[in-house]
A = this chain, B = another copy of it.
Amino acid sequence: MKVTPPVNRTTAQLADGRDIFFYDDETRTRSVHDGRDIARPEGANEMRFDPLLGEWTAVAAARQNRTHKPSADACPLCPSTPERATEVPEAEFDVVVFENRFPSFRGEAPVPPDVLEHLEPAEEAGGLVRPGAGRCEVVVFTDQHTGQLAEVPAARMRTVVDAWADRTEALMREPGVEQVYIFENRGEEIGVTLHHPHGQIYGYPFRTPRTQKIMAQADGFRRRHGKDLFDEILSAEPPQGSPVILAGERWTAMVPPWARWPVEIMILPHRSVGRLHELTEAERTEFAAMYLEVLRRGDQLFDGPLPYISGWQQAPRGATGEDMRLHLQLFSIRRASNKLKYLAGSESGMGVFINDIAPEDMAARLRDAGDDA
Protein backbone atom coordinates (compact mmCIF):
# COMPACT_ATOMS: atom_id res chain seq x y z
CA MET A 1 0.00 0.00 0.00
CA LYS A 2 2.90 2.38 0.71
CA VAL A 3 4.48 4.11 -2.25
CA THR A 4 8.05 5.38 -2.48
CA PRO A 5 8.47 8.86 -0.93
CA PRO A 6 8.70 11.39 -3.75
CA VAL A 7 12.27 11.71 -5.07
CA ASN A 8 11.08 14.53 -7.33
CA ARG A 9 10.33 16.94 -4.46
CA THR A 10 12.37 20.05 -3.54
CA THR A 11 11.46 21.80 -0.28
CA ALA A 12 12.25 25.48 0.40
CA GLN A 13 10.94 28.62 2.14
CA LEU A 14 9.57 31.85 0.73
CA ALA A 15 10.97 35.17 2.01
CA ASP A 16 8.21 35.55 4.63
CA GLY A 17 8.76 32.05 6.00
CA ARG A 18 6.04 30.19 4.15
CA ASP A 19 6.86 26.68 2.91
CA ILE A 20 7.13 25.92 -0.81
CA PHE A 21 7.40 22.48 -2.47
CA PHE A 22 8.41 21.78 -6.06
CA TYR A 23 7.26 18.49 -7.64
CA ASP A 24 8.99 17.80 -10.94
CA ASP A 25 7.83 15.41 -13.67
CA GLU A 26 11.37 14.04 -13.68
CA THR A 27 13.86 14.18 -10.80
CA ARG A 28 16.05 17.27 -10.81
CA THR A 29 17.96 19.50 -8.42
CA ARG A 30 16.77 23.00 -7.59
CA SER A 31 18.34 25.62 -5.31
CA VAL A 32 15.47 27.96 -4.55
CA HIS A 33 16.00 31.54 -3.33
CA ASP A 34 13.22 34.09 -2.79
CA GLY A 35 14.85 37.52 -2.61
CA ARG A 36 11.67 39.53 -2.03
CA ASP A 37 11.20 41.81 0.96
CA ILE A 38 7.74 40.67 2.04
CA ALA A 39 5.94 40.01 5.31
CA ARG A 40 2.79 38.06 6.08
CA PRO A 41 -0.36 40.23 5.82
CA GLU A 42 -1.83 41.53 9.07
CA GLY A 43 -5.26 40.36 10.20
CA ALA A 44 -6.38 37.69 12.60
CA ASN A 45 -7.87 34.39 11.57
CA GLU A 46 -10.69 33.35 13.84
CA MET A 47 -13.36 30.74 14.11
CA ARG A 48 -16.87 31.44 15.35
CA PHE A 49 -19.26 28.82 16.69
CA ASP A 50 -22.80 28.95 15.33
CA PRO A 51 -25.04 27.75 18.19
CA LEU A 52 -28.04 27.36 15.84
CA LEU A 53 -26.31 24.93 13.47
CA GLY A 54 -23.59 23.55 15.74
CA GLU A 55 -20.93 24.39 13.14
CA TRP A 56 -17.86 26.63 12.88
CA THR A 57 -17.48 29.60 10.53
CA ALA A 58 -14.03 30.96 9.65
CA VAL A 59 -13.66 34.75 9.83
CA ALA A 60 -10.65 35.88 7.81
CA ALA A 61 -10.81 39.65 7.41
CA ALA A 62 -7.32 39.80 5.81
CA ARG A 63 -8.72 37.94 2.79
CA GLN A 64 -11.00 40.87 1.92
CA ASN A 65 -7.96 42.53 0.29
CA ARG A 66 -6.53 39.47 -1.46
CA THR A 67 -5.31 39.61 -5.07
CA HIS A 68 -8.39 40.00 -7.28
CA LYS A 69 -8.26 39.19 -11.00
CA PRO A 70 -4.78 40.57 -11.76
CA SER A 71 -3.77 41.05 -15.39
CA ALA A 72 -1.64 38.28 -16.92
CA ASP A 73 1.59 40.29 -16.49
CA ALA A 74 0.90 40.63 -12.74
CA CYS A 75 0.03 36.95 -12.12
CA PRO A 76 1.51 35.79 -8.78
CA LEU A 77 1.47 32.11 -9.91
CA CYS A 78 3.71 32.52 -12.99
CA PRO A 79 7.45 31.77 -12.75
CA SER A 80 9.69 34.62 -11.59
CA THR A 81 11.68 36.55 -14.20
CA PRO A 82 14.69 38.85 -13.73
CA GLU A 83 12.22 41.77 -13.98
CA ARG A 84 9.44 40.47 -11.73
CA ALA A 85 9.46 38.28 -8.62
CA THR A 86 6.29 36.20 -8.19
CA GLU A 87 5.21 33.73 -5.52
CA VAL A 88 7.33 31.09 -7.32
CA PRO A 89 11.05 32.00 -7.15
CA GLU A 90 12.13 29.82 -10.11
CA ALA A 91 12.39 30.49 -13.86
CA GLU A 92 10.34 27.40 -14.72
CA PHE A 93 8.56 24.63 -12.84
CA ASP A 94 6.26 21.64 -13.31
CA VAL A 95 4.01 21.49 -10.23
CA VAL A 96 4.50 23.71 -7.18
CA VAL A 97 2.72 23.90 -3.82
CA PHE A 98 3.09 26.75 -1.34
CA GLU A 99 1.33 28.16 1.71
CA ASN A 100 -1.44 30.61 0.82
CA ARG A 101 -0.53 34.22 1.57
CA PHE A 102 -4.21 34.95 2.42
CA PRO A 103 -5.24 31.83 4.31
CA SER A 104 -8.78 31.05 5.48
CA PHE A 105 -7.32 28.74 8.11
CA ARG A 106 -4.01 29.20 9.92
CA GLY A 107 -2.73 28.13 13.33
CA GLU A 108 -1.68 25.15 15.36
CA ALA A 109 -4.49 24.66 17.88
CA PRO A 110 -7.28 22.46 16.53
CA VAL A 111 -10.72 22.67 18.11
CA PRO A 112 -10.88 20.15 20.96
CA PRO A 113 -13.95 17.95 20.43
CA ASP A 114 -15.18 18.74 23.95
CA VAL A 115 -14.74 22.54 23.76
CA LEU A 116 -18.49 23.09 24.08
CA GLU A 117 -19.03 20.88 27.06
CA HIS A 118 -18.03 23.27 29.83
CA LEU A 119 -19.37 26.53 28.40
CA GLU A 120 -21.77 28.86 30.16
CA PRO A 121 -25.04 29.26 28.23
CA ALA A 122 -24.35 32.93 27.46
CA GLU A 123 -20.93 32.06 26.04
CA GLU A 124 -22.40 29.39 23.77
CA ALA A 125 -25.37 31.53 22.64
CA GLY A 126 -23.11 34.57 22.08
CA GLY A 127 -21.03 32.84 19.43
CA LEU A 128 -17.85 31.41 20.93
CA VAL A 129 -14.69 32.82 19.29
CA ARG A 130 -11.59 30.65 18.89
CA PRO A 131 -8.20 31.56 17.41
CA GLY A 132 -7.78 30.35 13.85
CA ALA A 133 -6.23 26.96 13.22
CA GLY A 134 -5.38 24.80 10.22
CA ARG A 135 -3.44 25.49 7.06
CA CYS A 136 -4.12 26.59 3.45
CA GLU A 137 -1.92 25.89 0.44
CA VAL A 138 -1.98 26.67 -3.28
CA VAL A 139 -1.18 24.02 -5.93
CA VAL A 140 -0.03 25.33 -9.33
CA PHE A 141 -0.45 22.72 -12.10
CA THR A 142 1.83 24.25 -14.74
CA ASP A 143 4.11 27.24 -15.29
CA GLN A 144 2.00 28.20 -18.35
CA HIS A 145 -0.38 31.04 -17.50
CA THR A 146 -3.07 30.06 -20.00
CA GLY A 147 -4.65 26.68 -20.42
CA GLN A 148 -6.55 24.16 -18.34
CA LEU A 149 -5.77 21.15 -16.19
CA ALA A 150 -7.72 19.11 -18.78
CA GLU A 151 -4.97 19.87 -21.33
CA VAL A 152 -1.89 18.70 -19.41
CA PRO A 153 -0.17 15.44 -20.53
CA ALA A 154 -0.85 12.25 -18.56
CA ALA A 155 2.63 12.39 -16.99
CA ARG A 156 1.92 15.86 -15.54
CA MET A 157 -1.48 14.77 -14.26
CA ARG A 158 0.32 11.92 -12.50
CA THR A 159 2.77 14.43 -10.93
CA VAL A 160 -0.22 16.42 -9.69
CA VAL A 161 -1.73 13.28 -8.10
CA ASP A 162 1.61 12.54 -6.41
CA ALA A 163 1.82 16.13 -5.11
CA TRP A 164 -1.75 15.90 -3.74
CA ALA A 165 -0.92 12.58 -2.04
CA ASP A 166 2.36 13.85 -0.58
CA ARG A 167 0.76 17.01 0.83
CA THR A 168 -2.15 15.01 2.29
CA GLU A 169 0.28 12.74 4.11
CA ALA A 170 2.33 15.71 5.38
CA LEU A 171 -0.67 17.80 6.48
CA MET A 172 -2.20 14.88 8.38
CA ARG A 173 0.94 15.06 10.57
CA GLU A 174 0.58 18.82 11.24
CA PRO A 175 -0.76 19.92 14.63
CA GLY A 176 -3.97 21.84 13.99
CA VAL A 177 -5.11 19.77 11.00
CA GLU A 178 -7.93 17.22 11.38
CA GLN A 179 -8.88 16.75 7.72
CA VAL A 180 -7.39 17.57 4.29
CA TYR A 181 -9.54 18.88 1.42
CA ILE A 182 -7.89 19.21 -2.00
CA PHE A 183 -9.89 21.12 -4.57
CA GLU A 184 -9.93 23.20 -7.72
CA ASN A 185 -12.33 26.07 -8.46
CA ARG A 186 -12.38 26.75 -12.19
CA GLY A 187 -14.10 29.57 -14.05
CA GLU A 188 -15.05 33.18 -13.36
CA GLU A 189 -18.66 31.97 -13.03
CA ILE A 190 -17.77 30.43 -9.67
CA GLY A 191 -15.63 33.32 -8.47
CA VAL A 192 -12.09 32.37 -9.47
CA THR A 193 -9.86 35.43 -8.89
CA LEU A 194 -6.65 34.04 -10.48
CA HIS A 195 -6.74 32.51 -13.98
CA HIS A 196 -3.42 30.63 -13.92
CA PRO A 197 -4.34 26.90 -13.67
CA HIS A 198 -4.23 26.06 -9.98
CA GLY A 199 -6.01 24.37 -7.13
CA GLN A 200 -5.99 24.63 -3.36
CA ILE A 201 -5.46 22.52 -0.26
CA TYR A 202 -7.29 23.22 3.00
CA GLY A 203 -6.19 21.54 6.21
CA TYR A 204 -9.29 22.03 8.39
CA PRO A 205 -8.95 22.11 12.19
CA PHE A 206 -12.16 20.07 12.60
CA ARG A 207 -14.29 17.49 10.80
CA THR A 208 -16.36 19.29 8.17
CA PRO A 209 -20.17 19.10 8.11
CA ARG A 210 -20.19 17.09 4.87
CA THR A 211 -17.69 14.55 6.19
CA GLN A 212 -19.60 14.16 9.45
CA LYS A 213 -22.78 13.39 7.51
CA ILE A 214 -21.12 10.87 5.18
CA MET A 215 -19.47 9.06 8.09
CA ALA A 216 -22.78 8.87 9.97
CA GLN A 217 -24.53 7.48 6.87
CA ALA A 218 -21.80 4.89 6.14
CA ASP A 219 -21.87 3.82 9.77
CA GLY A 220 -25.68 3.55 9.80
CA PHE A 221 -25.65 1.58 6.54
CA ARG A 222 -23.17 -0.92 7.97
CA ARG A 223 -25.24 -1.34 11.13
CA ARG A 224 -28.50 -1.81 9.22
CA HIS A 225 -27.23 -3.97 6.36
CA GLY A 226 -23.82 -5.31 7.43
CA LYS A 227 -22.35 -3.95 4.18
CA ASP A 228 -20.05 -1.20 2.92
CA LEU A 229 -22.09 1.71 1.53
CA PHE A 230 -19.44 2.57 -1.08
CA ASP A 231 -19.30 -1.02 -2.39
CA GLU A 232 -23.07 -0.99 -2.72
CA ILE A 233 -23.06 2.35 -4.55
CA LEU A 234 -20.61 0.86 -7.06
CA SER A 235 -22.72 -2.26 -7.68
CA ALA A 236 -26.23 -0.70 -7.58
CA GLU A 237 -28.22 -0.74 -10.82
CA PRO A 238 -30.79 2.07 -10.48
CA PRO A 239 -33.96 1.28 -12.50
CA GLN A 240 -34.12 4.77 -14.04
CA GLY A 241 -30.85 4.29 -15.95
CA SER A 242 -27.14 3.66 -15.52
CA PRO A 243 -25.19 6.27 -13.57
CA VAL A 244 -21.84 5.11 -14.98
CA ILE A 245 -19.72 7.36 -17.22
CA LEU A 246 -16.47 5.36 -17.25
CA ALA A 247 -15.86 1.96 -15.63
CA GLY A 248 -12.17 1.24 -15.09
CA GLU A 249 -10.34 -1.63 -13.44
CA ARG A 250 -9.68 0.34 -10.24
CA TRP A 251 -12.03 3.35 -10.45
CA THR A 252 -15.58 4.17 -11.60
CA ALA A 253 -16.74 7.62 -12.74
CA MET A 254 -20.49 8.15 -12.37
CA VAL A 255 -23.26 10.73 -12.07
CA PRO A 256 -24.87 9.81 -8.74
CA PRO A 257 -28.64 9.22 -9.12
CA TRP A 258 -29.17 11.76 -6.31
CA ALA A 259 -27.07 14.51 -7.98
CA ARG A 260 -27.81 18.01 -6.63
CA TRP A 261 -26.07 19.92 -9.39
CA PRO A 262 -26.89 19.99 -13.14
CA VAL A 263 -23.46 18.39 -13.74
CA GLU A 264 -22.17 16.27 -10.84
CA ILE A 265 -19.57 13.53 -11.13
CA MET A 266 -18.25 11.14 -8.49
CA ILE A 267 -15.04 9.16 -9.10
CA LEU A 268 -14.82 6.31 -6.62
CA PRO A 269 -12.00 3.77 -6.14
CA HIS A 270 -12.98 0.10 -6.10
CA ARG A 271 -10.80 -0.53 -3.05
CA SER A 272 -11.54 0.77 0.44
CA VAL A 273 -8.95 3.54 0.95
CA GLY A 274 -9.36 6.65 3.07
CA ARG A 275 -6.74 9.10 1.80
CA LEU A 276 -4.77 9.88 -1.34
CA HIS A 277 -1.39 8.72 -0.03
CA GLU A 278 -2.81 5.22 0.47
CA LEU A 279 -3.32 4.82 -3.30
CA THR A 280 -1.02 2.36 -5.15
CA GLU A 281 1.05 3.34 -8.18
CA ALA A 282 -1.44 1.55 -10.45
CA GLU A 283 -4.40 3.34 -8.87
CA ARG A 284 -2.73 6.73 -9.30
CA THR A 285 -1.93 6.09 -12.97
CA GLU A 286 -5.44 4.88 -13.81
CA PHE A 287 -7.02 7.80 -11.98
CA ALA A 288 -4.84 10.35 -13.79
CA ALA A 289 -5.97 9.08 -17.21
CA MET A 290 -9.64 8.77 -16.19
CA TYR A 291 -9.73 12.24 -14.67
CA LEU A 292 -8.31 13.89 -17.79
CA GLU A 293 -10.93 12.06 -19.87
CA VAL A 294 -13.74 13.19 -17.52
CA LEU A 295 -12.54 16.81 -17.66
CA ARG A 296 -12.42 16.68 -21.48
CA ARG A 297 -15.95 15.30 -21.69
CA GLY A 298 -17.19 17.95 -19.28
CA ASP A 299 -15.81 20.64 -21.58
CA GLN A 300 -17.86 19.17 -24.46
CA LEU A 301 -21.23 19.57 -22.68
CA PHE A 302 -21.83 23.26 -23.34
CA ASP A 303 -20.32 26.09 -25.35
CA GLY A 304 -16.95 26.85 -23.80
CA PRO A 305 -15.07 25.31 -20.88
CA LEU A 306 -17.19 23.96 -18.02
CA PRO A 307 -16.96 26.07 -14.83
CA TYR A 308 -16.53 23.58 -12.00
CA ILE A 309 -15.60 22.85 -8.42
CA SER A 310 -13.72 19.57 -8.04
CA GLY A 311 -12.56 18.22 -4.70
CA TRP A 312 -11.25 15.16 -2.88
CA GLN A 313 -13.41 13.88 -0.04
CA GLN A 314 -10.95 12.16 2.31
CA ALA A 315 -11.12 10.37 5.65
CA PRO A 316 -10.35 12.68 8.60
CA ARG A 317 -7.93 11.94 11.46
CA GLY A 318 -8.96 8.81 13.33
CA ALA A 319 -11.03 7.41 10.44
CA THR A 320 -10.27 4.78 7.78
CA GLY A 321 -11.55 4.03 4.28
CA GLU A 322 -14.26 1.87 5.84
CA ASP A 323 -15.60 4.90 7.71
CA MET A 324 -15.22 7.28 4.76
CA ARG A 325 -13.91 6.09 1.40
CA LEU A 326 -11.78 8.52 -0.58
CA HIS A 327 -13.61 9.90 -3.61
CA LEU A 328 -13.53 12.83 -5.98
CA GLN A 329 -16.62 15.02 -6.34
CA LEU A 330 -16.84 17.37 -9.34
CA PHE A 331 -19.83 19.63 -9.92
CA SER A 332 -20.82 22.56 -12.07
CA ILE A 333 -23.32 25.37 -11.78
CA ARG A 334 -23.81 25.41 -15.56
CA ARG A 335 -27.23 24.05 -16.58
CA ALA A 336 -27.28 25.23 -20.20
CA SER A 337 -24.90 27.09 -22.51
CA ASN A 338 -26.51 30.39 -21.48
CA LYS A 339 -27.84 29.52 -18.00
CA LEU A 340 -26.32 28.96 -14.57
CA LYS A 341 -27.79 27.18 -11.55
CA TYR A 342 -27.78 29.66 -8.68
CA LEU A 343 -27.97 28.65 -5.06
CA ALA A 344 -30.98 30.68 -4.03
CA GLY A 345 -33.49 30.48 -1.18
CA SER A 346 -34.05 26.74 -1.00
CA GLU A 347 -30.40 25.72 -1.36
CA SER A 348 -28.71 28.51 0.62
CA GLY A 349 -31.46 29.14 3.15
CA MET A 350 -32.69 25.61 3.85
CA GLY A 351 -30.10 23.18 2.45
CA VAL A 352 -32.60 21.64 -0.01
CA PHE A 353 -31.32 21.31 -3.58
CA ILE A 354 -33.44 21.36 -6.73
CA ASN A 355 -31.90 19.86 -9.86
CA ASP A 356 -33.45 20.77 -13.22
CA ILE A 357 -31.67 17.94 -15.06
CA ALA A 358 -32.35 14.23 -14.44
CA PRO A 359 -29.02 12.71 -13.27
CA GLU A 360 -29.35 9.65 -15.55
CA ASP A 361 -29.76 11.97 -18.57
CA MET A 362 -26.52 13.77 -17.64
CA ALA A 363 -24.79 10.39 -17.16
CA ALA A 364 -25.85 9.35 -20.67
CA ARG A 365 -24.60 12.64 -22.15
CA LEU A 366 -21.20 12.24 -20.48
CA ARG A 367 -21.03 8.55 -21.48
CA ASP A 368 -21.85 9.38 -25.10
CA ALA A 369 -19.46 12.35 -25.19
CA GLY A 370 -16.62 9.83 -25.40
CA ASP A 371 -17.81 8.54 -28.79
CA ASP A 372 -17.03 11.85 -30.47
CA ALA A 373 -13.65 12.32 -28.80
Q: CB within 8 Å of B: which residues of A?
A: 48-61, 63-64, 68, 104, 121-122, 124-127, 129, 181, 183-185, 190-192, 200, 202, 204, 208-211, 213-214, 216-218, 220-221, 224-225, 227, 229, 232-233, 235-240, 243, 256-260, 309, 311, 313, 329, 331, 335-336, 339-346, 348-359, 361
Tell whether, in the assembled complex, residue A356 and residue B61 are in contact, meaning their CB atoms are under 8 Å apart.
yes
Given A63-B354, A191-B342 in contact, is the A50-B258 Cβ separation under 8 Å? yes
The complex places the Cα of A331 from the Cα of B343 at a distance, in Å, of 12
A286 → chain B closest CB, angstroms: 23
A228 → chain B closest CB, angstroms: 9
Q: Which B residues lie within 8 Å of A191 (CB)?
A: 340-342, 344
The complex places the Cα of A185 from the Cα of B349 at a distance, in Å, of 10
Tell whether, in the assembled complex, residue B104 and residue A354 are in contact, meaning their CB atoms are under 8 Å apart.
yes
Residue of B nearest to A355 (CB): B59
A225 → chain B closest CB, angstroms: 4
Given A213-B54, A351-B208 in contact, is the A336-B59 Cβ separation under 8 Å? no
Show 9 A/B contacts (Cβ-Cβ < 8 Å), sorted by A.
Answer: A50-B256, A51-B221, A53-B217, A59-B359, A64-B357, A121-B221, A126-B238, A129-B257, A202-B350
Tell whether, in the assembled complex, residue B339 and residue A68 are in contact, meaning their CB atoms are under 8 Å apart.
yes
Contacting residue for A127 out of B256, B311, B329, B353, CB 8 A: B256
Tell whether, in the assembled complex, residue B53 and residue A210 are in contact, meaning their CB atoms are under 8 Å apart.
yes
The complex places the Cα of A228 from the Cα of B202 at a distance, in Å, of 36
Tell whether, in the assembled complex, residue A126 and residue B257 are in contact, meaning their CB atoms are under 8 Å apart.
yes
A339 → chain B closest CB, angstroms: 7
Q: Which B residues lie within 8 Å of A210 (CB)?
A: 53, 349-351
Contacting residue for A236 out of B122, B218, B225, B329, CB 8 A: B122
Tell whether, in the assembled complex, residue A358 and residue B61 are in contact, meaning their CB atoms are under 8 Å apart.
yes
A45 → chain B closest CB, angstroms: 10
Tell whether, in the assembled complex, residue B126 and residue A236 are in contact, meaning their CB atoms are under 8 Å apart.
yes
The complex places the Cα of A30 from the Cα of B244 at a distance, in Å, of 55
Residue of B nearest to A50 (CB): B258
A110 → chain B closest CB, angstroms: 14
Contacting residue for A329 out of B59, B221, B257, B349, CB 8 A: B349
Given contacts A54-B220, A127-B238, A202-B350, 6 further A-B contacts (CB under 8 A): A55-B213, A57-B258, A125-B229, A183-B346, A192-B344, A211-B350
Tell whether, in the assembled complex, residue B204 and residue A352 are in contact, meaning their CB atoms are under 8 Å apart.
yes
Residue among A52, A53, A213 with max Cβ neighbours from chain B (10 Å):
A52
Tell whether, in the assembled complex, residue B51 and residue A359 are in contact, meaning their CB atoms are under 8 Å apart.
no
The complex places the Cα of A208 from the Cα of B224 at a distance, in Å, of 24
Tell whether, in the assembled complex, residue A345 and residue B124 are in contact, meaning their CB atoms are under 8 Å apart.
no
The complex places the Cα of A59 from the Cα of B345 at a distance, in Å, of 16
A258 → chain B closest CB, angstroms: 4
Q: Which B residues lie within 8 Å of A336 (CB)?
A: 64
Contacting residue for A232 out of B125, B185, B202, B243, CB 8 A: B125
Q: Which B residues lie within 8 Å of A239 (CB)?
A: 126, 129
A169 → chain B closest CB, angstroms: 20
Tell whether, in the assembled complex, residue A57 and residue B353 are in contact, meaning their CB atoms are under 8 Å apart.
yes
A70 → chain B closest CB, angstroms: 14
Q: Which B residues lie within 8 Å of A209 (CB)?
A: 350-352
Tell whether, in the assembled complex, residue A348 and residue B221 are in contact, meaning their CB atoms are under 8 Å apart.
no
Q: Which B residues lie within 8 Å of A243 (CB)?
A: 127
